[in-house]
Homo-oligomer: A and B are copies of this chain.
Amino acid sequence: MRRRITLKQIAKELDVSISTVSKALRESKEISQDTRDKVQAFAKLYNYKPNNIAVSLKNKHTKNIGVIIPEIVHHFFTTVISGIEKVANSKGYNVIVCLSNESFDKEVINMETLANGSIDGFIMSISKETQKKKDFHHLREVVNQGMPLVMFDRVSDEIYCDKVIVDDARGAYQAVEHLIHTGCKRIALITTVDYVSVGKLRTLGYKNALLDNEMGVDEDLIIKIEDIENCDKEIEKLFDLDNFDGVFAVNELFALTAMKIAQERGYRIPEDISFIGFTDGILSKHASPTLTTLAQHGIEMGEIAADMLIEKIEEEEEDESFRTEIIRTSLIQRDSTRKI
């Protein structure tokens, strides 16, 4: 078991100085071709690779980027990671993933441990709890230290940094309009509690679409779900109390659950009730009937976030201007809505 070899050892073996070895390895023409060849051959033979940590300490950058997300077992976030990873790797960066599990404390701890020199910048989506508490001191701190930060999807207006967001309100608007255009007259909304920023925005889009089409908002047709585990109970209530011919749900799970309940109650989809979900994940594609959804383009979001971050990391002087990229959703028509 050979341990990794260092410059020092090479220098000693070859009876030259450490700096000669270092330079030879980096093809410096300060060093004679002869020595360069000799050093390189030796390095290759012993499979020399520079120690990343030492290089990081010296160069003041780690070539790591930290990603903090609420949940990894959530298809949208994994697609974003996939996009981040792709561009990060192509530019020589590694991705350190930390999960907050929707907990404020965990989010704070994660940020603090990573911010102490382990990474060159952050990409993050804040936890529900953080959104509820509205306490962003940890983000502020990191930004104040000059560490680049890109927020995505679940962002906060209070923090000045680059952002990549989905056009939630517009997407919801688009979905509801599609229901209207395909003949729905009474459209229900299944959404989350208001402190979840994206839920709120999607609710807004839903209302606007109704208003713009002179349909009026009926609050009885809107249910806000807190406990995702037991969303079926809440949704059952909607079916008990009211009737409608279209459902817009802010995520796949709500949409699928609603479809299942509708089917159990004997409604035909989409003839009797049409369904659209936000977020195009695996569930939608394999549901029966397949679910019409709004694709959020997670991979693309990840790629853009990583590009923005790396740009900020690598720019010479720091630039105080921040961008917000808005990713348009696109409607994926499947079998849970009527054809136009």
Contacts and interface: CB of A to CB of B under 8 A. Distances in A.
Interface of A: 1-4, 47, 49-54, 56-57, 62, 64, 72-73, 75, 78-79, 81-82, 85, 89, 94-99, 106, 110, 112-118, 141, 144-146, 253, 256, 260, 263, 282-283, 286-288
23 contacts: A1-B144, A2-B144, A4-B116, A4-B117, A50-B116, A51-B57, A53-B53, A53-B62, A53-B117, A53-B118, A64-B96, A72-B82, A73-B75, A73-B79, A78-B78, A85-B99, A89-B98, A89-B110, A94-B98, A94-B118, A256-B286, A282-B283, A288-B288
Contacts of A51: 57, 116-117
Tell me the number of copies of this protein. Answer: 2
Per CB-CB distance, the 10 closest pairs between chain A and chain B, nearest first, are A51-B117, A52-B117, A53-B117, A49-B116, A97-B97, A52-B116, A52-B118, A53-B57, A53-B56, A96-B96
Contacts of A113: 52, 94
Contacts of A145: 1-4
A8 B142 CA distance: 21
Contacts of A79: 73
A85 B56 contact: no
A78 B76 CA distance: 12
B78 A73 contact: yes
Contacts of A85: 72, 97-99
